[in-house]
Amino acid sequence: MKIPLNEFEQHIDEDILKRGLQYFKKGYVTCVDELSGGEYEATVEGSETYTVRMEIKKGVLNGCDCTCPYDWGPVCKHEAAVMFYLQQEVLGIEAKSGKGVKKNQVSASLGVKPSLKNKKKTIQEQLNEILDMLPPEELKGYIAESCNKDKSFRDMFLARYLYLIQPVSNEMYAKQIRTIVSSEAGRYGYLDYSAARKVGKAVYELSQLAERKMDEGNHREAMYMGCAMLEEMTKAIEHGDDSNGDLGGCIEAAQEILFRIAEDCVDKAIRRELFDYALSAFQKQLFKGWDWHFHMLDLAIELIETDSDKKQIAGWIDSVKPTGEKWDYDYDRARLMKLELIRKTEGEAELNSYLEANIDNNNFRRELILEAIKKKEYIKAISLAEAGIVADQKDKPGLADEWKWHLLNVYKLQGDTAKIIEQARYLFLHSSRFRPQEMFDILKKKVATDDWTSFFDQLVADRKKSEKWVSFHSIADMYSWEEQWENLLNLLIANKSLDNITYVEKFLANLYAEQLVGMYYNAIEDYLKKNISREYYKTACKYIRRMIKLGGRDEADQLITELRKLYPQRRALMEELDMV
């Protein structure tokens, strides 16, 4: 997310903006501090107290985060309130309360130059200065006192530094993570939204430490951290609200650590230990039901050193048997791993043999087709694609469309105009998997110029027949591609609705603005006959503004007057009309 701070109102939902402005004006934004260059932290009061963090560089908001549970969009009302706070001088607004900090305390990074005398040091600058001045014994005393008073602080401190007094191991780091989780979990061991965020951030710090260990060449300790994170966060995510993805993010980070070790580490003892761990985790089904259950075998494949390793992995892959279901995810996943095992340890002949023997796996058919095209073996590619269409047309029509798309590409390489038109026409009319305009452009390029008008008219007719109900948008697109504006207007007249008028407005505004204004007028009247509530009124007023933009100011005023007479009892509507 990158938003120029001086334009933030243009990038945020209108309702969120209104609520954020209310929070700012009521003085709910307090304790705004610059943590370090361009990083801000603010407290926002409300039904609860939330913390907002923002990063602003050269007047651009690069990211923001709030501890509230809102997840319906990129910005919540608390974050919007802080944006209003930071821009209050530019916008000429003030909060009712005198809470918070002086404006010049946060103005330096926003392009305003306060006097050096009054400029407040950032939080990071203050911390660094205090730590430089503080005697070590006093700092130790403070930490010891805080550990005695605050269990959460103590648990986090021990989790961060326990490695200094104990031999490093998987279990040591697992214990650290369990301590972090238990310090935040509720009475029954459940991590609510807020607790999950705290745990996720704390454990993610451990992953960053593991990255530093790998940079230093300490792959063994990083491996223990990654394994512990993967195991303990899998347990945590099963008993927590991870709607913000913090716990899942730690699991992804743990996997990245282990795969990086497999890629970078040359120490055979460490590679062997990680290989054994990966196979053991799969065998014990530590992560059964999650994607990373199979990732353990992927990891083992990366670490293969001997024929014995290969046989062990192949044995576990072959232990996954087909269920007979149409969509057999585990079996298909196992076959993909077997393919990668063969790709890494055997030759091209064995690879192709396995692909052809398992051609019912769509990934394998796709690879064979692409390889045949690459080698210009077009007859083979066509045969594979046509067989796929026959196999998948009934139960997997979307997949069958992909095989038809591959046929289209082969015909293009062969220069077979008739078959190009045949395939592109089918995909245009019957497949939602590919961009209609792409197929349309192919057709226009390949159909003879003298035949195009009749071909197009028939294509429109067939498009209407191919759908259960006529899609206004799809036909409107075709007329717009051909710049047939009169036909597009007639289509709109036959299918008047606010959504349809808006959809074609940009195409018809220059030639038919008056007609569009009239259609908006009638459609808004009908809309308000059927819908009652402020949200509907806001929508209606949005369309009235579109009338004005089209040059229909007089018609808009007339409609507003008519609506005031028709619905004087609708106070919310009157308020929204006042703002047009």
Please say whether the beta carbons of 550 and 516 come within 8 A. Answer: yes
Rounded distance between C-alpha atoms, residue 336 and residue 253, angstroms: 23
Please say whether the beta carbons of 80 and 12 come within 8 A. Answer: yes
Predicted model pTM:
0.65
Between 197 and 468, the higher pLDDT residue: 197
Q: What is the pLDDT of residues 382-436, one digit of tens each?
A: 999 999 999 999 989 999 999 999 999 999 999 999 999 999 999 999 988 899 9
How many percent of the chain have pLDDT more than 90? 66
Rounded distance between C-alpha atoms, residue 225 and residue 206, angstroms: 7
* Residue-level pLDDT at 295: 96
Between 202 and 555, the higher pLDDT residue: 555
Find the mean pLDDT for residues 261-285.
96
Q: What is the pLDDT of residues 345-378, one digit of tens each?
A: 999 999 999 999 999 999 999 999 999 999 999 9
* Residue-level pLDDT at 47: 76
Task: Find, among 437, 427, 492, the residue nearest to 466 by Cα.
Answer: 427
Q: What is the pLDDT of residues 450-489, one digit of tens each?
A: 999 999 999 999 998 876 565 899 999 999 999 999 999 9
- In this structure, which amino acid lies at residue 73? G
Helix axis angle, 362-374 relative to 378-392, nearest 10°? 160
Please say whether the beta carbons of 53 and 40 come within 8 A. Answer: yes
Whether 137 has a pLDDT exceeding 80, the answer reads yes
Q: How far is CA 254 from CA 156, 260, 272, 523, in A?
A: 19, 10, 18, 55
* Residue-level pLDDT at 108: 46
What backbone phi and psi angles, to 5 degrees, belong to 385? -65, -45
* Residue-level pLDDT at 106: 56
How many residues would you count in the chain?
Answer: 580
Q: How confident is the model at residue 153 (pLDDT cuts 50, 70, 90)?
A: confident
Q: What is the pLDDT of residues 305-355, one digit of tens each?
A: 999 999 999 999 999 999 888 788 899 999 999 999 999 999 999 999 999
> Where along the chain do its domains lie?
3-129, 145-303, 308-357, 359-466, 498-578
Whether 227 has a pLDDT exceeding 80, the answer reads yes
Lowest mean pLDDT among 151-165, 506-520, 527-541: 151-165
Please say whether the beta carbons of 198 and 179 come within 8 A. Answer: no
* Residue-level pLDDT at 9: 87
Whether 116 has a pLDDT exceeding 50, the answer reads no
Rounded distance between C-alpha atoms, residue 272 and residue 280, angstroms: 12
Average pLDDT, the chain: 89
Task: Find, among 411, 405, 458, the residue nearest to 432 by Cα.
Answer: 405
| Run of H or E residues at 54 | strand 50-57
Written out in words, the top-level CATH class of the domain with range 359-466 is mainly alpha
Handedness of CA 188, 193, 194, 195 (dihedral sign): positive
Structure tokens at 81: 């309130």
Rounded distance between C-alpha atoms, residue 32 and residue 43, angstroms: 7
Q: In the 8-state DSSP scheme, what is residue 68?
A: S
* Residue-level pLDDT at 100: 47
Whether 103 has a pLDDT exceeding 70, the answer reads no
Task: Find, among 363, 278, 375, 353, the residue nearest to 317 by Cα.
Answer: 278
* Residue-level pLDDT at 470: 59
Structure tokens at 275: 């290989």
* Residue-level pLDDT at 97: 58
